[in-house]
Amino acid sequence: MTETSASAPMPLAGASREARIGRRILERRLQLILEYSRRLPLNYLGYILVAFIVWRQGVELWPWIWLVLTGAVMVYRWRLGLAVERVEPEVQLQYLPRLLRGFDFNGVSTASIVPFAFYAPGDFAPMAVAAVLMAGCTIGAASVAGSQRAFVGFCTLTFCCLAGGWAWRGSAVGYMFAAGIVLVYFMLLATVRDQGRMLHKLMNVLDDNALLSEVVRQERDRATAASEAKTRFFAAASHDLRQPLHALSINATTLDILARRSPDPLLKEVSRGIGSALHQSSGLLDGLLDISRLDAHTIEAKFAPHDIGAVLRASRDEYAALAAQQGLFLKVAAPETPLWGLTDADQLIRIVGNLVNNAIKFTTRGGVTLSAEAAADGRVLVRVSDTGPGIPESERERVFEEFYQIGNPSRDRSQGLGLGLAIVRRTADLLKIEIGLDSEPGRGTTFALHIAPAAPMDESHPEVATALARSFDGTRLAVLLVDDEAEVLSAMCTYLHQLGWSVKGVASGAKAEQALAEGFEPDVMVVDYRLREETGLDVIERVRWRRPLLPAVIVTGETAPSRFREFSTVAARILHKPLDGDRLARTLQEVVLALDEEASDAVAPK
């Protein structure tokens, strides 16, 4: 591409490689010329000096005419450069031919003073004029960005006049200066050519980098789209699978109550089998939900000082029965004095729980040890160690990938989906916990968690969790249930009635208002989010016109991350389907107990 063809902008998309490189060269040339144009007023100082030298040679009028002429050319070039900088970048290249013609005008006007420098005898004036004008040409050559055409138009006539003037003098000194000026000219021309070649190579590299960046961007976009599609799939699949399991889970919990009351061993065995299968199914769906929420960044960490030893002991208590069933030990090695770390206790328990659960699954002899200590760097170091088969070095990064499991080619359902360690890594990133993995085949595995330290918490203000540790066995509640799925509503009513609770089950917000109008006084309401004619949020709003302080629990199969914050603004708790009866009852008790404690605090003497 030549400079004169630059007036037709060429889109780079789909252009040939040479066309793209040619356009990049022109854009770089334009940039350098515009920078040079901004410095033209400074260059004019040299022209004033040349005019003064020639005037001192006895030339009265022409130096000042020449100064005005060259000044007009420079003003034209300077203003043209400013005008080009103000237009849109997409059309700036159209002005490049006019900017290049400015070099031609400047070359002609500059050379017209040279013959007058040789007007009087003596070498001072010719030498001074030659020095100033050749310096100006050298500076101009650096700004043409390899354009031989611009260099020839700007410098050739001036150098020819200077060389001719010295040769016209006729002496040995004159011939020597003439030869030197010609040599300098061709050296500058060679430099401009080299500059053009280097610029071409540079633009080749830039074009390669641009293509590579575009490929990387496309691959990144594809990976991002695939990740978003996966997250949407998890959310949709989780919702669709949870819905039919919800009523079954409630009925299974009711069956378990009846089985414990019955002397029939077969009924107890059937109840245990159904409960075990539902527990596995719920665990798989919870894994999908956790991945969806973590990928969508909708889980917010609530950092506070926590006793890490207490967190480990809570995890031990939760998984002790499972470890005993497998014939494994599960022990905690942590100081009795509090070891304070800055973390989110709920999320840390999920991390440790996933690691413990994973260790129990793959350990056949020995057991699992949870330990905590203060590390040398001040952080709290937690280790989860097992005596299992270990992890080969080649697999240590892959075990954190979704759905990847070592030694489970048949996809044994009892070993889960392979999401546990993927959830651990994502949750650790959320809590800013550094994870380490030390393992050797045949000698077990140790996961290390490095947790930021925290200042000890004032024990005169115990946590709410202490209150939640109280037994709920004697707590009987009045519950308003709203669900338009008859089977689900019946299952929940039946289960809560078996607990001896007072329950009112309705299918809509209007029926809920009617129940309140007829005198039913609930302690808490449980509302399904997706109803046929309205949403659970609509029902909560209607009920609270009559009972503004009535706590609400939303039960939903929705896993779309955008819903979580919306739910949390109106509901005390959000429960995801499928939901067993024990979890429902305990959640309702916790909500009511927390409300009672808040009321007690409000009336307590200060």
CATH number reported for the structural domain that contains residue 418 in this entry: 3.30.565.10
CATH number reported for the structural domain that contains residue 572 in this entry: 3.40.50.2300
SS3 254: helix
Question: Could you tell me the CA-to-CA distances from 505 to 334, 512, 581 in Å, in that order?
Answer: 48, 8, 15
Q: What pLDDT was estimated at residue 605?
A: 44
Residue 602 has pLDDT above 50, yes or no: no
Residue 269 has pLDDT above 80, yes or no: no
Q: Are 418 and 322 contained in the same domain?
A: yes
Residue 156 lies in a domain: yes
3-state secondary structure 495-547: HHHHCCCEEEEECCHHHHHHHHHCCCCCCEEEEECECCCCEHHHHHHHHHHHC
Q: Using one digit for the tens of pLDDT, what is the confidence trace for 152-161?
A: 888 899 899 9
Q: What pLDDT was estimated at residue 45?
A: 85
Q: What pLDDT was estimated at residue 30?
A: 83
Q: Using one digit for the tens of pLDDT, what is the confidence trace for 113-160?
A: 888 888 777 788 888 888 888 888 888 787 777 788 888 888 899 899
Q: What pLDDT was estimated at residue 533?
A: 84
SS3 447: strand
- Give CA 198 to chain center in angstroms: 38
Q: What is the mean pLDDT of residues 532-549?
A: 89
Of 121, 145, 169, the one marking the end of a domain is 169
* Neighbour-count burial of 397, counting CB atoms closer than 10 A to its CB (0-12 exposed, 13-18 middle, 19+ buried): exposed
Describe the strand order of the beta sheet including 502-506 as a list of residue ranges. 502-506, 478-482, 524-528, 552-556, 573-576
Instruction: Tell me the residue length of the chain.
Output: 606
Q: Are 486 and 450 contained in the same domain?
A: no
Tokens for 306, please give them. Answer: 């926590």
Q: Are 22 and 140 contained in the same domain?
A: yes
Residues 358 and 421: beta-carbon distance below 8 Å: yes
Of 153, 169, 185, the one marking the end of a domain is 169
Residue 192 lies in a domain: no
Question: Could you tell me the CA-to-CA distances from 266 to 251, 256, 260, 278, 372 in Å, in that order?
Answer: 17, 12, 11, 18, 45
Residues 326 and 456: beta-carbon distance below 8 Å: no
Residue 183 has pLDDT above 90, yes or no: yes
Please name the helix (run of DSSP H) or strand (run of DSSP E) that holds residue 450, with its range, or none.
strand 445-451
d(C-alpha 317, C-alpha 300), whole Å: 26
Residue 591 lies in a domain: yes
> In the Cβ-directed half-sphere of 244, how many Cα atoms lie within 13 Å?
4
Residue 182 lies in a domain: no
Residue 201 lies in a domain: no
Residue 443 lies in a domain: yes
State which of 150-154, 286-290, 388-392, 512-516 shows the largest mean pLDDT: 512-516
Closest CA to 78 of 137, 112, 35: 35
Q: Are 316 and 432 contained in the same domain?
A: yes
Tokens for 130, please give them. Answer: 């030659």
Q: Are 483 and 418 contained in the same domain?
A: no
Residues 540 and 527: beta-carbon distance below 8 Å: yes
pLDDT-derived band at 267, boundaries 50, 70, 90: confident
Residue 299 has pLDDT above 70, yes or no: no
The region of weakest confidence among 64-73, 236-245, 486-495, 554-563 is: 236-245
Q: Mean pLDDT of all residues in the chain?
A: 79
Q: What pLDDT was estimated at residue 597?
A: 53
Q: Are 314 and 273 contained in the same domain?
A: no
DSSP 324: H
Say how many domains are in the chain.
3
What type of residue sits at position 23? R
Tokens for 545, please give them. Answer: 């016109």
Which residue's structure tokens are 């307590």? 604
Q: Are 521 and 438 contained in the same domain?
A: no
Beta strands in 336-444 (DSSP E): 340-343, 367-374, 380-386, 434-439
**Percentage of the residues of the chain whose pLDDT score is greater than 90:** 9
Q: What pLDDT was estimated at residue 604?
A: 44
φ, ψ for residue 340, nearest 5 deg: -85, 130
Residue 178 lies in a domain: no
Residue 408 has pLDDT above 60, yes or no: no
**414 C-beta neighbours (distance < 10 Å), count:** 8
pLDDT-derived band at 527, boundaries 50, 70, 90: very high
Q: Are strands 573-576 and 552-556 parallel, antiparallel or unpaired?
A: parallel
| Domain extent at residue 115 | 3-169
The region of weakest confidence among 41-45, 70-74, 297-301, 323-327 is: 297-301
Residue 191 lies in a domain: no
Residue 168 has pLDDT above 60, yes or no: yes
Q: What pLDDT was estimated at residue 275?
A: 66
Residues 309 and 338: beta-carbon distance below 8 Å: yes
Q: Say which residue, 283 or 59, is predicted with more confidence.
A: 59
Q: Are 408 and 352 contained in the same domain?
A: yes
Of 152, 169, 186, the one marking the end of a domain is 169
CB under 8 Å to 385, separation ≥6 — which residues? Answer: 368, 369, 371, 444, 445, 446, 447
Q: Using one digit for the tens of pLDDT, what is the confidence trace for 365-393?
A: 899 999 999 888 889 999 999 888 887 77
d(C-alpha 64, C-alpha 55), whole Å: 8
**89 C-beta neighbours (distance < 10 Å), count:** 9
The region of weakest confidence among 213-217, 423-427, 472-476 is: 472-476
Please name the helix (run of DSSP H) or strand (run of DSSP E) that holds residue 576, with its range, or none.
strand 573-576
First to last CA, the chain: 85
d(C-alpha 115, C-alpha 171), whole Å: 17
Q: Are 393 and 314 contained in the same domain?
A: yes
Q: Are 17 and 139 contained in the same domain?
A: yes
Q: Using one digit for the tens of pLDDT, what is the confidence trace for 573-589?
A: 888 777 777 788 888 88
Q: Are 317 and 287 contained in the same domain?
A: no
Beta strands in 8-159 (DSSP E): none
Q: Say which residue, 523 or 15, is predicted with more confidence.
A: 523
Q: Are 277 and 389 contained in the same domain?
A: no
